[in-house]
Chains A and B, each alone.
Chain A
C-alpha cells in the first residue's frame, strides 16, 4: 500500500477510537431524549467527573502501593461508574424532575445552569488547570514498512475498542431482554400510557440517567487514560460532540448513537489529516448543522410527528 493510504488507515483507526468513546457518551443523551424529550446539557459534565474520579482513584491506589494494573483499572472503573451514576441521579432529582411537564425551554435552561455549576464546583475543589496522569498502558503493534509509514495500533486503543464493545453488548442485552429494559422501551414509546399501566415511570427515568452517567464515566476513564489530561472544561466540548453524534445517528435511537459516534470520530480524524487540527471542531459542528437541515431525524431515527 502507498504511504498515503497507510496514513489514511492510521487516521481511520484513530477516528474509530475517539468515535467509540463519543458513542458511549452519546447513548446517555439519546436515552434521556428518547424518554423525556429533553437535552441533558449537564451530561458532558458527568463525563468530566468520571474522568476526575478515575484520576483520583488511580493516584490513590498507586500511592497506596498497588501495582497490578488490571486491578487498579477495574477498581477505578467501578468507583467512577458509581460516583458518576450518583451524580447523574442527583442532577435529575434536583434539577429536572421538579420541572417535568413545564415548557421545554425551562428544563433546558436548568440543565445549562447545572452544567455551569458542576464545571465550576469541580474547578474550585480540584483546580481549573490541567491535571496530567502518566501513561498507564503504553506500547502497541506496528504494521507496515518502518522506512516510509508505520500504522500503529496502541494497546490503549485496543482497550478502548474492547471495553466499548463489551459495554454496548451488555447494554443491548439489558434493553432487549430484561424487565427494566422493556420498561425503558415502553417509556420511550409512550410515557403517559406506561404510567397508566402501573409502571413507575419516575424510576425508569432515574434509571436512564444512571445508565447514561455510568456509560459517560466509562468514556471518562477511557479518554482520560488515552489523552492523559483532564480539566474541568473537557466535559463541555465532549458533551457537545457526543450530542452531535446522537443527533447524527438519530436522537432516541441507541444503534444510531453508536453509528453517529463512529461517523463523527472518523470525520474528525479525516479532517485533521488534511486541515489544521483546530478546524476539526468547526467540521463537527458544521456536520451537525448540515444533518439537521437535510435529515433532522438523523441517520437511523424516526421522523418526529408533532401532535396537538
Chain B
C-alpha cells in the first residue's frame, strides 16, 4: 500500500463528502410561504458516513478487490449445457415442454400472479421489439414508448369510435405503429447513432404531448376508459353478454359457473400466444438476409456500404419491425387494462425497456426474456422499496455498461470453426 494510494482514497472520500453533504445532508422544507432547511436525521448521516467510509476503503484496497474479482471463476454457460448435437435434438422438446408448462401453469396459481405474468409478457414483447432496433441493428431508440402508445391508442380509438374487435385491431395497431416508425425513420435514420437517440426521444415526447392535448379525440390527460376486452370467437368474458340478443358469454356457452379468473387466464394465454408469435417471427427474420444485414450494419457501416447494402432501407426495416412489435404490445396493453392515458407512456417507460435490453444482453433473446422477468417481478417482491426502483435501474445501467456491457446472457451466433 503506497502513500499515493492513501492520498487517492482520502481525495475520493472528500469528493463523496462534498457530493453528499448538501444534497442529502440538508433537506429543503416549505413552511408557509417561506422556504426553510432542516438537517438530515442522525440515521441519514450515519448512511452518509458509511458511504464515505466505503468509498475510502474501496479506493484504498482497489488492487486487492480487483484481484479478488478476477480470482472468482466466471461461470461458463456453454460448458454447462449438453453438447451441440445433443442440444439440437433436445431443443424442440425443451421448447414444447416450456410451452406446455406456460399453458397449464395459470390454472394452478392465484389470479394476481397470472396478472403479473401477463404484465411480464408485455414487457418481454416490448423488450424483444426494442432488441431488434437496439440490439440487432444498433440504433439507439429512446422514444420506443411512442410506438407502444400508438398501438395502444389505435386499438382504444378504433374500438371506441368504430366498435372494432380486438382481433381485427391487433394487426391494424401493429400496422399503425409500423407506419409511424416508417414515417419517423425515413428521414431520421440517415443521422448518426447518438443524434438518432435524441431525435427519437424528442419524438416520444411529441407523441405524449399530442395525446395529452388533443382532448376531443384522445380524452387528454384523463385518457380513454372502458376499452373492450378481447373475445374468444365472439364469446365475451363478462357476467352478462353485452352485444345484442343472441350474444353469449364464455361461461354460458361452455356451461360453466361464472368466474372472473377466466378472463385473466384468457388474457394471459393471448399474451403467451403473441410472445411466441413475436419470438418465432424474430427468429426467422434473424436468419434471413435482412437480419444478417442488420447485424452487419451494426458492426461496420462503412464496410456494409462498400459491399453494396442500402443502409437506409436496412435500418428502416429494423426500425419499422421493432415499432410494429411495440404496436402489438400496445394494443394488447390497452385491451388488458381497459383504460389508457398518456401517463402510461412517459420517457421512464422507454428507459425501463432499454434497461431490459441492456441488462439481458443486446441482441440476446433469452437474456432479454430473463431480464424482463427480473425487472417486472423484483419490484413486485420488494414493494416497500418501490421508491428506490428507478434509482436502482439507473445504477444498474451504469454498472452493467462498466463491467458487463454484453449483458447477463451475451448473444451467441451460430458459428462454425474449421479444425486444422
Interface set of A (CB-CB < 8 Å, partner B): 38-39, 49, 52-53, 55-60, 62-63, 79, 82-83, 86-87, 89-90, 94-95, 98-99, 102-110, 112-122, 124-127, 131-134, 236, 240, 243-244, 247, 276, 278-279, 281-282, 284-286, 288-289, 292-293, 296, 304, 306, 308
Task: Report the nearest B residue to A89, measured CB to CB.
Answer: B15
For B350, give the chain A residue with the smallest CB separation: A112
Contact partner of A117 among B19, B193, B358, B395, CB < 8 A? B395
CA distance A276 to B213 in the complex (A): 9
**B213 x A132 contact (CB < 8 A):** no
Inter-chain CA distance A20–B391, complex, in Å, is 32
A-B residue pairs, 9 tightest by C-beta: A113-B397, A117-B394, A116-B394, A285-B202, A110-B401, A120-B391, A113-B398, A59-B35, A125-B24
Q: CB-CB < 8 A to A99: which residues of B? A: 401-402
| A56 surroundings in chain B (CB, below 8 A) | 22, 26, 28, 37
**Interface flag for B109 (CB, 8 Å):** no
Known: A59-B36, A278-B213. A52 touches B187 (CB 8 A): no
Q: Which residues of B contact A58 (CB under 8 A)?
A: 35
Q: Which residues of chain B have C-beta atoms less than 8 A from A108's C-beta?
A: 140, 193-194, 197
Question: When the two chains form their complex, are residues B396 and A49 in contact, meaning their CB atoms are under 8 A apart?
Answer: no
Q: Chain B contact residues: over half helix, strand or loop, or mixed?
A: helix
1/0 per position for B343-374, CB-CB distance to A under 8 A? 00001100100110010000000000000000
Is A105 touching B138 in the complex (CB atoms < 8 A)?
yes
Tell me if B53 counts as interface (CB < 8 A to partner A). no
In the complex, B216 has a CB within 8 A of chain A: no
**Whole-angstrom distance between the alpha carbons of A301 and B52 in the complex?**
43
Given A49-B23, A87-B19, A109-B401, does the pair A121, B391 have CB atoms closer than 8 Å?
A: yes
Most A C-beta atoms less than 10 A away, residue of B190, B212, B388, B394: B394
Q: Is the CB of A59 within 8 A of B391?
A: no
Q: Determine if B395 and A296 form an interchain contact, defined as CB atoms under 8 angstroms apart.
A: no
A-contacting residues of B (Cβ < 8 Å)?
15, 18-19, 22-24, 26-28, 30, 33-37, 40, 134, 138, 140, 142, 187-188, 190-195, 197-199, 201-203, 205-206, 209-210, 212-213, 302, 347-348, 351, 354-355, 358, 387-388, 390-391, 393-398, 400-402, 405
Q: When the two chains form their complex, are residues B194 and A39 in contact, meaning their CB atoms are under 8 A apart?
A: yes
Is A285's CB under 8 angstroms from B402's CB?
no
With a CB–CB cut-off of 8 A, which chain B residues contact A282? 206, 209-210
Smallest CB gap from B204: residue in A = A285
Nearest Cβ in chain A — how far from B343, in angstroms?
14
Closest B residue to A37 using CB positions = B194
Task: Select which of A102, A134, A276 is within 8 A of B405 by beta carbon.
Answer: A102
Among A127, A134, A285, which residue has its beta carbon within 8 angstroms of that of B203? Answer: A285
Q: Report A-chain residues with C-beta under 8 Å of the C-beta of B388.
A: 120, 124
Q: Are A281 and B187 in contact (CB under 8 A)?
A: no
How far, in angstroms, from A63 to B37 measured CA to CA in the complex? 8
- Min distance, Cβ B54 to any Cβ of chain A, angstroms: 14
Chain B residue at smallest Cβ distance from A79: B22
Task: Pick the residue among A39, A102, A134, A292 that contacts B35 (CB under 8 A).
Answer: A134
- What are the residues of chain B within 8 A of A296 when measuring CB–CB? 191, 195
Q: Is the CB of A289 within 8 A of B197?
A: no
A-B contact pairs, 18 of them (CB 8 A): A53-B22, A60-B37, A62-B35, A86-B18, A89-B15, A90-B15, A99-B401, A105-B134, A105-B194, A106-B405, A108-B194, A112-B394, A117-B395, A125-B24, A243-B198, A244-B198, A247-B195, A292-B199
- Nearest-CB residue, chain B, relative to A251: B195
Residue contact A279 to B213, C-beta cutoff 8 Å: yes
Q: Closest approach, in angstroms, between the C-beta of A63 and any C-beta of chain B? A: 6
Do the beta carbons of B203 and A132 come within 8 Å of each other?
Answer: no
- Select which of A53, A117, A279, A289 is within 8 A of B398 by beta carbon: A117
Beta-carbon contact of A63 and B36 below 8 Å = yes
**Cβ of A284: which chain B residues have Cβ within 8 Å of it?**
202
Q: Given A116-B351, A278-B209, A281-B209, A39–B30 Cβ distance below 8 Å?
A: no
